[in-house]
Amino acid sequence: MSRRLAILLLACAAASAHWDEGASLPAWAQPGRLHWALQYSRCDRALVDLYLAHGQNLVQGATFDSPATAAYAAERGLRLMPYVCSRTFTTHEREKSPELAEAPVQTAEGGEFLAYSNPVRRYGSLFNGVWPEYVRERTRRQWTGPAVSGIFYDNAFWSGADYRPEAVATWQRWARAQGLDPGEGLPTAAGDPRLAAYRAFTSATLSGYYRDLREFCAAHNPPLLSAPNLASQNAFGLLAAEQGALDLVFYETFSHPPFRNNAFLYKIGLAASHGRSTGLLAYLPAAIGEQRGVKTWNEGMHHFFYPSSPLPEEFALAAAEGAANGGTYIPCYSLFPALPITDLTDPFNQRVHRELQRSYAFLTGNEALYAGARPGSRVGLLYSPLTEVQDRAAQQGWALGERLAAAGIPYEVVVPSDLAEDQLPELTTLVVPNVLYLEEPAAAGLRRFVERGGRLLLTGSFATFDSVGRAVRPPSAQRLLDALGLIDQPIETWQLTGYLPETAGQVKLTGARGQASLQFDGRPGQYRAYLGLRDEADGAGSYRLLAGGRSICTGRLDRDDERVHWLTTPPFSLQPGDTVTLQVEADGGEQGRLNGVVLTAAGSAGALKVGQGELLYSPLALTSDSIPELIEKLQPAARLTTPGKVALNHLRTAAGEDSYHLVNYDFRYEVKPTGRFGSDDGTAEARTYLGSTQTVVRKRLVVAAPHEVNQPVLQLRASATPACQAPLVVTVNGREVGRLAPATAQSYIWHELPLAREALAEEMIVDLRAEGEVDGQQRWWQVGIDTSQRGNSWFSLDGGATFRQDDLSPDRQPQAGEYLIRLFDAAPGTPDIPGNLAANGSFERVNVLNGNTTLTVVPAREVELAVAGAPRPAVAISPDGPPVSITGRAAGNETLYRVPEVSIYSVLVLGDAARTAALAQRQVELSPWTAPPVTAPLREVTERWEGYGSGFGTATIAHHGQRSVSCASDTATAVQGAVQSIDLQQQTATPLTVTAWSRAENVGGQPAPHYSLDVDAVYQDGAPLSGLNAPFATGSHDWQQVELRIQPAKPLRSLRLYVLFRRHPGKVWFDDVRLSATP
């Protein structure tokens, strides 16, 4: 690793031409041919057949149940990509591998950095040989398996600081090699002028590490592919992709469609990797998971989740979205926090399998449309991974991509290395959105693009820093600005009063107010100023611009959207020697963050002729432009004439045909959550903050039958700032019912406060207030607001003496709606036995999985595309219905093509008559739309219990009540049972007693832990307590109770409670499980 650390991997360093790298992959792994699934459990032959039926050729994370199954899969082209954690290890692994004592990343205080705040997980340091060699050994253990074709490296691009002495020394050598003064220690504090360079160093380190792992995998015989986890658009990972440090691009996000359009993710992955296959593992967003799932603790991630599954049509949409954008959706068959879909007998899963089979039959049957396809759009966006490494909010690329998608304009993404090599596909318009970091080779590529006839649109600031954060603009970039008459100096070079540099290209206030000043030395005349200010969600600051002592404009930062906005001023006159001053006042937690001030001649609007092309400047990143304005600026060669919920992408097939991909996101839902009492929809479009002890947040909850609520829990969507020490006091009808500690509420999620049933009433007035030091600056609480509902929330600034309802926040811009405060019955239906810590211990409560959500897909009718050029033969094809021949209608320089209906996914293909006719005939042969529907009713599930192994069934034979769970097997190899996770959070070591009842019929073998009541626990310090079990008798017997006593040596944090039936033939029933504290 050390041989690479002295080299800065510049964003514009040598790299392959746009999208050429995909061809270097094995044929099966190339874009359009790779179909990638995820399954983190054993695969038997039935699951292999399922993957093959869905057209999958790569399964990530799985193992096979036997060599015969592995051979069966390999013969049919199904490959494996096992899991290797490339950055974290556990303290238990260290006990087995003493060399790991030198592996942990160190904190500034000399301690060990906890991964995911989990007491037993550590990050491995990249700065000595111990950890990289350990990861190589992990890889060796995995690549010996059958059918292994690649390695998935998880937890890949963690970018935290490592204070190990060798890490600090490496940083210092690297900085000196760049001509920088490294200073003492590591520059991790906000405002440190070396921070940008340290981030570039971190990026170089990570890129070098994963390039080494890629080369290590490639040296295997046969060569293996490397796929590090880029999580949700990790800029360090994308920069590594541009530098050739990975084979496959893998994202893991909570952005499953239709709740988000992921086109931009696919496009930046393909662009950064120069055409390597890009896969997206998307879970449901947190708010949707909360609607569908049950809150469950995950010990490894040390976090609560709501495991839930996308609906069948959502799977189909995601597969379409990936293919339409040149990537591949990765359906999750089994991995927390999604629910597994591997049970072939479950009617819900059967519906999912039908949609996946239809979708992939269409994709594999039309492989010629996808394999080798290239971007076809004439509009491009420049994505700079290096800019995003330094400031994730600077480019706002996803927001811009969503705006173009909503406007019906297809676009592509290019990266700086494409510019350096003049590899800009067939683009005629290129948008450069606030790209702050750019080197001369890329800037020269931009200049050549416009001089040769391209249309170049610059927005925000442009090329103000080099790759290590020095305020050095490349000569070619300066020539472009000079042509526009723009004056754009890095904000750090202005005279700052009351401001502190935070990152390269951004400063923030150190107190209540501050200003940035510049003495003007340009040509006299009329100018406009564009002010780059970040509008944060925790205040509403104000600003004022002065020129030569004259007030030019004032305004407020009250959009509360956490974005950088480039605000336009009226024209004003400037003379050499005038001082331009921007004054900013903070408000609440809004720190007056300033990203730049750009001056431009007031008469310079419109396109400027440069060579054979045109150069334009727009400060506002296009996100606020109307559709006609976007069309005028971008001049797309294809567009939707009436954009709605349909997104359009343009690909050019390997045969040179134009394919226009139409994806319909018009999915509408009716949700009937069980056991929830509130008046919000669960989504926080706004928020209020409690920055004073006199602030009171009030919510009215109406509970029609409080006596029917069994296990009341108050849920709050809230969070506290890291510096806040004041608890949030909660009262119900004037009585305190609990306090939320700020240390446990750092994440802006739903927090829960158990209530006594005595606190319930038909009308419950819930008040929140902070008790202790809060100041609205560094110390405060925030509570979410749903802006779609009104009528049950109030706000007070005088300690509750008076309340208002039309404005629920101290922000200057009114925030109306409903606070995200609700009552939740954690045990609707039959109440739990008092004192039983195991929920639903008698298995009486059931619900219909996914039965609370009704989905309607609204087809788009008469979708019209305008395509530049004369009419051509066209056919619309879809997995949702038969092909339709389309006749284009000339309209000026465009042709209009009208697709009668887009259900979820349709592709309009333009080509010669013979080809389109053959394509239509191919659809008739495939006929994926004829797959018979699944009509079996959805299955009931037992609340709070998860399946272990292949799960469990339910039965009306019961020890007590009406139900029990049952497991049955004809062989001695099956693994079945039920498991429940319980969050204990003991403060003292308290003994526990666990009991359960079971009935058996013809159970073979001797009594053993395989048929037992079993417990695995975790101490508060992360140490495990396992091997606790109480076996049941085998043979045939009536109900038998077993008891397990747990004597913990120290306080327990959590446990998992199992009833197991594995490796025995026969049939068993379980009932009346009880966990209680032992007196």
pLDDT above 50: residue 212: yes
Average pLDDT over residues 744-765: 91
CB-based contacts of 253-256 (< 8 A; 24+ apart in sequence) = 253/280, 253/281, 253/282, 253/283, 254/282, 254/283, 254/284, 254/285, 254/286, 254/289, 255/282, 255/285, 256/282, 256/283, 256/284, 256/285, 256/288, 256/310, 256/314, 256/318
Q: Residue 642, class by beta-carbon neighbours within 10 Å (0-12 exposed, 13-18 middle, 19+ buried)?
A: exposed
What is the bridge-based pairing of β-strands 513-519 and 608-610?
Answer: unpaired
Give the model's pLDDT for residue 782. Answer: 94
Residue 682 covered by a domain = yes
Ranked by mean pLDDT, the top range of 524-528, 673-677, 894-898, 912-916 is 894-898
Residue 29 covered by a domain = no
* Same structural domain, 615 and 556: no
pLDDT above 90: residue 294: no
Give the model's pLDDT for residue 14. Answer: 34
Residue 512 covered by a domain = yes
Q: What rounded mean pLDDT belongs to the chain?
A: 91
* Phi, psi dihedrals of residue 273, rounded to the nearest 5°: -90, 0
Average pLDDT over residues 164-172: 96
Per-residue pLDDT tens over the stretch 307-323: 889 999 999 999 999 99
Least Cα distance to 450 among 431, 475, 464 occurs for 431
* Same structural domain, 510 and 576: yes
Rounded Cα distance between 626 and 409, Å, is 12
Q: Single out the residue in 560, 580, 603 at which a domain terminates.
A: 603
pLDDT bucket at 5, cuts 50 / 70 / 90: very low
Centre a 10 Å sphere on the Cβ of residue 887 and count the other Cβ atoms it contains: 10
Average pLDDT over residues 26-55: 94
* Same structural domain, 522 and 463: no
* Same structural domain, 692 and 793: yes
pLDDT above 60: residue 126: yes
Rounded Cα distance between 1061 and 1052, Å, is 26
Rounded Cα distance between 1075 and 1079, Å, is 13
Per-residue pLDDT tens over the stretch 369-412: 999 999 999 999 999 999 999 988 788 788 899 999 999 999 99
Give the model's pLDDT for residue 1. Answer: 37
* Same structural domain, 914 and 806: no
pLDDT above 80: residue 10: no
* Same structural domain, 620 and 471: yes
pLDDT bucket at 17, cuts 50 / 70 / 90: very low
Residue 259 covered by a domain = no
Rounded Cα distance between 324 and 659, Å, is 9
pLDDT above 50: residue 710: yes
* Same structural domain, 548 and 466: no
* Same structural domain, 791 and 694: yes
Rounded Cα distance between 1013 and 994, Å, is 8
pLDDT above 60: residue 776: yes
Judge whether 630 and 623 are in contact, CB under 8 Å: no
* Same structural domain, 504 and 461: no
Q: Single out the residue in 174, 199, 226 at which a domain terminates.
A: 226
pLDDT bucket at 302, cuts 50 / 70 / 90: low
* Same structural domain, 473 and 525: no
What is the bridge-based pairing of β-strands 853-857 and 946-947?
Answer: unpaired
Average pLDDT over residues 87-116: 92
Least Cα distance to 675 among 651, 647, 698, 703 occurs for 703
Rounded Cα distance between 226 and 141, Å, is 15
User: b/e for 537-549, b at 16 or more Cβ within 10 A?
Assistant: bbbbbbbebbbee
Per-residue pLDDT tens over the stretch 322-374: 999 999 999 999 988 888 899 898 999 999 999 999 999 999 999 999 999 99
* Same structural domain, 586 and 717: no
Per-residue pLDDT tens over the stretch 130-147: 999 999 999 999 998 788
Residue 4 covered by a domain = no
**Token reading at 720:** 């506290």
Residue 181 covered by a domain = yes
- Record the pTM: 0.86
On the question of a cis peptide bond just before residue 433, with omega within 30 degrees of 0, the verdict is: no
Per-residue pLDDT tens over the stretch 490-539: 888 899 999 988 877 889 999 989 999 999 988 899 999 989 898 887 67
Give the model's pLDDT for residue 15. Answer: 34
pLDDT above 60: residue 6: no
Q: Give the lowest-confidence range in 97-101, 464-468, 655-659, 941-945.
A: 941-945
CB-based contacts of 952-956 (< 8 A; 24+ apart in sequence) = 952/976, 952/977, 952/978, 952/1070, 954/843, 954/846, 955/1069
Q: What is the CATH number of the domain that holds 821?
A: 2.60.120
* Same structural domain, 543 and 680: no
447 three-state secondary structure: helix
pLDDT above 70: residue 13: no
Residue 852 covered by a domain = no
Give the model's pLDDT for residue 872. Answer: 97
Ranked by mean pLDDT, the top range of 227-236, 264-273, 830-839 is 264-273
Q: What is the CATH number of the domain that holds 468?
A: 3.40.50.880
Total domain count for the chain?
6
What is the bridge-based pairing of β-strands 379-382 and 412-414?
Answer: parallel
Average pLDDT over residues 540-549: 92
Q: Single out the residue in 927, 960, 979 at which a domain terminates.
A: 927
Judge whether 546 and 479 are in contact, CB under 8 Å: no
pLDDT above 80: residue 715: yes
pLDDT bucket at 301, cuts 50 / 70 / 90: low
pLDDT above 80: residue 785: yes
Residue type, 404: L
Give the model's pLDDT for residue 7. Answer: 32
For residues 39 and 746, the model is more confident at 39
Average pLDDT over residues 766-790: 92
Residue 72 covered by a domain = no
Q: What is the CATH number of the domain that holds 599?
A: 2.60.120.260
Average pLDDT over residues 299-304: 69
Domain, as residue range, for 711: 675-827
Per-residue pLDDT tens over the stretch 805-863: 999 998 767 889 999 999 988 877 777 778 889 989 999 888 887 888 899 999 999 99
